[in-house]
Amino acid sequence: MHDLENYHQVLPLASLMEFIANKTTKSSVLVIKARLSKALALTELGYINEAYRIYKKILLFKNMPKYGDRSSEYVERLDGAHFNLAHDDCYYNDLTPEHDKNQPALTFIQKPLEADLLTKVKAVSTPYVVELLQFLRASLLTRIGEQQNVENLDKAQNRTNVLKAAEDILRASLANQ
């Protein structure tokens, strides 16, 4: 569906996939893949804030399936079920990338993934999923750095830095293959 650019159709299918993977099959790999599909589709549709929140949820391993535990509200809450980020921890779609409120989100997206986090992701998934995670970072930065998102061309240096970071991510990904 991504290849056909039917992003609006990816969202309900990926949401269903995430629900089934989380509640029925209890597969962390499928949960992460579904979230990555949703985030990529949202990025392409221009919903940067929603994609950013899903990206952060993946990195924090929140609301992941548990194996063999009896379900209780207390245990689920400790593991991140019904997890929401702070209201101000977001990317403001209605503001330009160089706005002060968007800087924490941009800094978080541009920050390289730590080795221990990558090891943790590889432990529950495949190298393909790690590459999808890197691609999502690059896609977010590319979408943020697009020309129409820059309000003042005098501030285009910020846009250039964002696009350079996206290029570096993709080049590093290709060098690892």
111 burial class (0-12, 13-18, 19+ CB within 10 angstroms)? exposed
User: In this predicted structure, what is the pLDDT of residue 151?
Assistant: 55
User: In this predicted structure, what is the pLDDT of residue 13?
Assistant: 93
CB 38 within 8 A of CB 14: yes
User: In this predicted structure, what is the pLDDT of residue 158?
Assistant: 72
Mark 134-172 as b/e (b = at least 16 C-beta within 10 Å).
Answer: bebbbbbbbbbbeeebbeeeeeeebbebbbebbeebbee
Question: How crowded is residue 56: how many other Cβ atoms within 10 Å of its Cβ?
Answer: 18
Query: Which portions of the chain are predicted below pLDDT 50?
Result: none
